[in-house]
Amino acid sequence: MLSNGMRGRLLALVGLTCLAPCAMAVGTAVGTPITNTASVTYDVGGSTVTATSNPTSVTVAQILNVSAVVQTPSVPVAPGDANRVISYLVTNTGNGADSVVLTPLSTIATGDQFDPVLATPTAIYLDSDGTPGFSPGDTAYVPGSPVPLAADGAVTVLVLNNIPAGLNSGDTGISQLTAARSGGVGAPGTVFTGAGVGGVDAVLGLSGAQATRNGTYIVSNIALSAVKSQTVTDPFGGNRPVPGATITYTVVITPTGTGTAGSALFSDPIPANTTYAAGSLRLNSVVQTDITGDDSGRFESTPTPRVVVVLGNLTQASGPQTIQFSATIN
């Protein structure tokens, strides 16, 4: 106990290089030193005295975590389709640089009606150009090779499969991707001594440094047909295609079969030597504004003049979709 002549004030002053936001261990970078020094301040005879403890320090170890998300969980396909893509986003959710190995599997024993066939010679590509789906600019993945990822770094992985013939509408086929740390996986809490960045210890996080996700192909036998007709109205009340006459085009899109025709998009170029009649575009008798984003239809003047109508997902129950527009002969 301090005497009456010594008014004791004990202050614990903690100096940390990492404050409250670093409470999430995964968020603190591997190799970060966390230091702590305490002090006690007190009065003696009217003078303030400070005593400082020895510093302590710990270096943040590497936590090893991997996550995977299916970006296209359900992909409509037709029997006999080739190179159909399921897209995954694989992320290093640890706190230091690491690498993963990618393994596809399309022979799932239960839960589907058919086995997709992994494309050959390459079934996995890494998205390199940011274009949705597979494109020639994507990088072919060499089986078994490590894919380096920075802390919080991610890569879009494209798995390509061929769809067998002779399937029924509604049949499903599962394709699986496993992303596993190239340096080893296991139970959460497992320690890899000295295996982290800079030689620190590495500890397996809750994911065990691997993630497995399934994507599904769904067979659809639906088909869209398009039938186009035209009528001509000339300036004299007749139907002669003279300069100044108007050609009105009507296109009927009809879905038949079972399943869904996804993201249907209608496009029709304006014929040469004609000019689109502004405001003439209609979808199922409803006038479209010609402006992108206002409704389902739009007129595009460049690079090639054309009308475009977003039809969306169509089933046989959607019924015929009638599109109409006009152009004037120059």
Q: Domain boundaries in the chain?
A: 1-60, 63-219, 223-329
Mean pLDDT taken over the chain? 90
**Digit-coded pLDDT (tens) for 213-240:** 999 999 988 889 999 999 999 999 999 9
C-alpha dihedral (141, 143, 145, 147), degrees to nearest 10: 40
Is residue 217 within 8 Å of 136, Cβ to Cβ?
no
| pLDDT above 50 for 7 | no
Predicted confidence band at 103 (pLDDT cuts at 50, 70, 90)?
A: very high
Taking the alpha carbons of 322, 325, 329, 330 in that order, is the dihedral positive or negative? negative
Say which CATH class 63-219 falls into: mainly beta
| Tokens linked to 172 | 């499903």
Instruction: Name 329's bridge partners.
Output: 274
What proportion of the chain, given as a percentage, has pLDDT over 70?
92
- CATH code, 223-329: 2.60.40.740
Tell me which of 56-65, 256-265, 276-285 is least confident.
256-265
* Equal fold, 63-219 vs 223-329: yes
pLDDT grade for 44, boundaries at 50, 70 and 90: very high
The values of phi and psi at residue 21, to 5°, are: -60, -20
pLDDT for 11 beyond 50:
no
User: What are phi and psi for residue 199, nearest 5 degrees?
Assistant: 90, 5
Query: What single-letter DSSP state applies at residue 31?
Result: T
pLDDT tens digits, 290-301: 999 899 999 999
Q: Please tell me whether the overall predicted TM-score, pTM, comes out greater than 0.85 for this model.
A: no
Distance (Å) of CA 325 to CA 55, 72, 90, 112, 275? 80, 35, 46, 45, 11
So what's the pLDDT on residue 136?
84
